[in-house]
Amino acid sequence: MGDPAVVGAVRIDPRDTDPAYQDELHAAYFTGLGRAEFHAMAAALTPDQPISFLTTPTGATAGRWGSVPRTYIRTTRDRALPIALQDVMIRHADELAPATAFTQVTLDAGHAVFATAPAEVADAIRLACH
């Protein structure tokens, strides 16, 4: 909705009733959820994502952010962040802080893995904490 270059944000609008839009939103973010569960989760989405998050320096350093152990849950059916892009993000983070490289877990899930595979996410967190 709206031109991102003009409004400075990407808008995800779960209230849009266009069936094609709803199908795309479901497939891109909530792969693996039934339609009723998808609607419940989509209603919690924040509709605007400022584009500046892609271009604003984070200030992350190896000494600060890199001092925290981290785990990345790779999601093979993610259409919002395809697996190749996830791997680039992991690589860049690991280059910044190689001493605390990501532990990786790969799940056959879509973008909203917390909603579609909560037990597997909990297992990944438990493994990371031990």
126 & 77 share domain: yes
Dist. CA 30–CA 67, nearest whole Å: 32
**Residue 6, H or E segment:** helix 4-7
Query: Which of 96, 114, 94 shows the shortest CA–CA distance to 104?
Result: 94
Contact 32, 117 (CB under 8 A): yes
Domain hosting 117: range is: 59-130
Q: Is the pLDDT of residue 1 over 70?
A: no
Q: Is the pLDDT of residue 27 over 80?
A: yes
- Give this prediction's pTM: 0.81
pLDDT tens sequence across 93-120: 999 999 999 999 999 999 999 999 999 9
pLDDT tens sequence across 62-105: 999 888 889 999 999 999 899 999 999 999 999 999 999 999 99
6 & 39 share domain: yes
* Structural domain total, the chain: 2
